[in-house]
């Protein structure tokens, strides 16, 4: 399975998680690009080699990685609730953390509380944790990724990327460009903001 059409078709019929989808692409030796690969290469070339060339996964997973997954899952639950007119309470999200965190989740609960307090009010929730495949041009491997949150106000769209690392840097131009191009192609919108 190679190329944009094959990967896009495979994703359209996929019913599992995006992580399982990527592992399936890796098993088949499918070539693809992901923003996480680019940022990994910029951060640590050896890590990129291990993860993207050798296809090795860190075991056990670092605590920051586990926390990031739990945070994203909790915030996704919150916005999915909004989309279904069932707003979850902060207490229920803290219970979610307690069920999934191996140790003290105090910092994680604080981060989730802050995310709920700073929720994007007045926007329609279009998609939560939306996986995508984007053609970058003939002969290029397709770009795959996941947008944490897609919102809309009328004809204007916004993409939200929840950062869970220690450093909150300015948005990466490449990531913003990829997300905006996906919104333009998928939703037909020329107007798209990005929030981090």
Query: What secondary structure does DSSP assign to 22-79, as a single string?
Result: HHHHHHTT---EEHHHHHHHHH-HHHHIIIIIS----SSPPHHHHHHHHHHHHHHHHH
Contact 195, 160 (CB under 8 A): yes
Same domain? For 15 and 37 the reply is yes
Mean pLDDT for the stretch of residues 31-36: 82
Same domain? For 51 and 128 the reply is yes
Q: Containing domain of residue 72, as a range?
A: 63-117
Residue 127 CA to its chain's centroid (Å): 11
pLDDT single digits (tens) 101-145: 766 688 889 989 998 998 888 899 999 999 999 998 888 889 999
Same domain? For 170 and 131 the reply is yes
Residues 128 and 151: their CA atoms lie apart, in Å, by 9
β-pairing, 124-134 with 156-160? Answer: unpaired
Domain end point (choices 117, 142, 159): 117
Same domain? For 128 and 47 the reply is yes
Is the pLDDT score of 3 beyond 70?
yes
Return mean pLDDT, the chain.
85
Per the structure, how many domains does the chain have?
A: 2
pTM over 0.75: yes
Domain end point (choices 117, 140, 160): 117
């Amino acid at each position: 399975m190679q190329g944009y059409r094959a990967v896009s078709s495979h994703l359209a019929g996929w019913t599992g998680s995006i992580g399982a989808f990527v592992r399936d692409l890796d098993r088949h030796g499918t070539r693809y690009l992901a923003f996480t690969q680019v940022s990994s290469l910029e951060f640590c070339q050896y890590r990129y080699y291990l993860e993207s060339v050798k296809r090795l996964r860190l075991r056990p997973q670092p605590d920051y990685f586990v926390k990031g997954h739990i945070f994203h899952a909790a915030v996704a639950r919150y916005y999915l609730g909004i989309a279904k007119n069932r707003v979850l309470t902060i207490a229920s999200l803290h219970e979610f953390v307690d069920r999934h965190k191996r140790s003290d989740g105090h910092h994680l609960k604080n981060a989730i509380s802050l995310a709920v307090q700073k929720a994007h009010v007045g926007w329609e929730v279009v998609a939560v944790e939306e996986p995508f495949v984007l053609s970058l041009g003939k002969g290029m491997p397709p770009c795959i990724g996941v947008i944490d949150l897609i919102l809309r106000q009328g004809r204007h769209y916004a993409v939200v990327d929840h950062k869970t690392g220690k450093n909150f840097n300015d948005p990466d131009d490449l990531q913003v460009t990829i997300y905006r191009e996906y919104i333009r192609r998928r939703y037909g919108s020329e107007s798209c903001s990005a929030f981090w």
